[in-house]
Amino acid sequence: MTQVENSMNEVLIKLGLVPFFSQQLTDFSVVEKRLGRVVSVQRSVVSVACTDQKRNVGLTVNLQQADALQRPTVGDWVILDETGSRVEQVLARKSLFKRIGSGSTTQFQPVAANIDLVFIVTSCNDEFNASRLERYLALCSEAGAVPVIVLTKIDLTDDAGSYIAQARSVQSGVAVEGVNAFDQSTLDGLKGWIEANATIALVGSSGVGKSTLLNALAEEALAATGAIREDDKKGRHTTTHRELYSLPSGGLIIDVPGMRELRIADVDEALGHVFGDIEQYAPECQFSDCRHMKEPGCAVLAAIEDGQLDRRRLDSYHKLMRESVLATSSLAEKRAKDRDFGKMVKGAKRFKEQAGRSDDV
Ligand SMILES: Nc1nc2c(ncn2[C@@H]2O[C@H](COP(=O)(O)OP(=O)(O)OP(=O)(O)O)[C@@H](O)[C@H]2O)c(=O)[nH]1
Ligand SMILES: [Mg+2]
Ligand SMILES: [Zn+2]
């Protein structure tokens, strides 16, 4: 047996350990007590599931000072320091679902690491919105995870079929599963997606039923749920932190609080996947750099004229592209500013050190 195979401890395998991670180990003695998976992060406390127990630990100074994307997040595989009280290293990730912080923070924030699938949860009521689904699908494609659109509350409508058809039209080839979380017989299709030891993130607006779905899949009340507002069907942000749960039947689920605002950046390529139906016409456009706005000989506009493409799709494509490009450049600007600021601080430090030395002479 190789060292990598040897390090594939059974408890850790159930937590989703695959050779992609164990191959990164240089010291295999860490497997016993110092290798683990991040279950939750609350302020400065990181909860890590190891072979023997769950440990609440802090971060080494290096990690405390690291960029938000480099710090451990839910789903990460980490190595603790020798005292077992701090995360020392975050192993390279297989996938990462990230978003831009809400409010004025133009910075990427990690949402869930090392996920295989994302269940994009939406419900059969006023919350349903095709353009929002397109946003989630772009982030999911960028994350490197397979999306499944889950339509909850099929029991509350007479027309689940039309919701399902609309959801199917947002990206060809993406699976759509309709469920009533309170009826196990409707969950079989969705369960078919959950492979043993695979990790799934549940994302979607507040109140769509993510935690209810987690409880239904686990057949156990693992997470708190809360009623939505009757007037506008909005949720009340019942789940307040991200957490990784193990399903008794195998598989791991990360429950994520409802997202208020879903800004995107750096997803130009991912949008090409989500809007494959639009991009398939692009090679036929008269101009190779056609933006499908008003250009003559545009095959995309012609497809809309012919009724083969939905106008809403093209509008959404333009809107998301614009947003992604703008946000990407403002992120780049911010990074450059941070770099300049970093240089200035370093320069000032050096100046001080030199001044200190000359004082010594
Ligand atoms: N009838 C019906 N109600 C559902 C279904 N799924 C969820 N609900 C209800 O929807 C409400 C919101 O469910 P939650 O699971 O708390 O929603 P959430 O997505 O986790 O919300 P946040 O934690 O705020 O992001 C609860 O009252 C659930 O009982 C369903 O399939 N059918
Ligand atoms: Mg919840
Ligand atoms: Zn065109």
pLDDT higher than threshold 90 for residue 353: no
Mean pLDDT of the chain: 91
Question: Which has the higher per-residue pLDDT, 29 or 5?
Answer: 29
- Which of 101-115, 286-300, 338-352 is modeled with the greatest confidence? 286-300
Tell me the fold of 96-255. Rossmann fold (3.40.50)
Q: 108: CA distance to ligand 3 center in Å?
A: 32
pLDDT higher than threshold 80 for residue 21: yes
Residues lining ligand 1, Cβ inside 6 A: 152-153, 155-156, 179-182, 206-212, 225-228, 235, 237-239, 257-258
CA distance 234 to 351: 56
What pLDDT, on the 0 to 100 scale, is given for residue 40?
A: 98
Mutate to test the pocket of ligand 1, among 179, 225, 233, 243 (most ligand atoms within 8 A of CB): 225
What pLDDT, on the 0 to 100 scale, is given for residue 307?
A: 96
Q: What percent of the chain has pLDDT over 70?
A: 91
Tell whether domain 3-90 is in CATH 3.30.70.1020: no
What pLDDT, on the 0 to 100 scale, is given for residue 350?
A: 59
Q: 109: CA distance to ligand 2 center in Å?
A: 19
Q: Range with the lowest mean pLDDT among 39-53, 101-115, 235-249?
A: 101-115
CA torsion sign for 273, 274, 280, 281 is negative
- Specify the residue with its C-alpha closest to ligand 1, atom 11: 227
Domain boundaries, the chain: 3-90, 96-255
Q: What are phi and psi of 87, to 5 degrees?
A: -75, 130
140 membership: H or E segment, kind and range: helix 130-143
What pLDDT, on the 0 to 100 scale, is given for residue 329?
A: 81
**DSSP-assigned states of every residue in 263-320:** ---S-HHHHHHHTHHHHTTGGGSSSTT--SSS-TT-HHHHHHHTTSS-HHHHHHHHHH
Question: Which has the higher per-residue pLDDT, 335 or 227?
Answer: 227
To 5 degrees, how large is the angle CA 341–CA 344–CA 348? 145
Question: Which has the higher per-residue pLDDT, 146 or 332?
Answer: 146
Q: 258: CA distance to ligand 2 center in Å?
A: 7
Q: What percent of the chain has pLDDT over 90?
A: 76
Q: 102: CA distance to ligand 3 center in Å?
A: 33
What pLDDT, on the 0 to 100 scale, is given for residue 233?
A: 85
State pLDDT tens for residues 139-182.
999 999 999 999 999 999 999 999 999 999 999 899 999 999 99
Question: Which has the higher per-residue pLDDT, 74 or 337?
Answer: 74
Q: 169: CA distance to ligand 3 center in Å?
A: 21
CA distance 8 to 11: 9
Calculate mean pLDDT across residues 67-75.
95
pLDDT higher than threshold 80 for residue 248: yes
Question: Which has the higher per-residue pLDDT, 77 or 108?
Answer: 77
**Ligand 1 atom showing the smallest separation from residue 183 Cα:** 31
Identify the nearest ligand to the CA of 290 by its number: 3
Q: Which of 44, 32, 41, 30 is nearest to 89 (CA)?
A: 30
What pLDDT, on the 0 to 100 scale, is given for residue 348?
A: 60
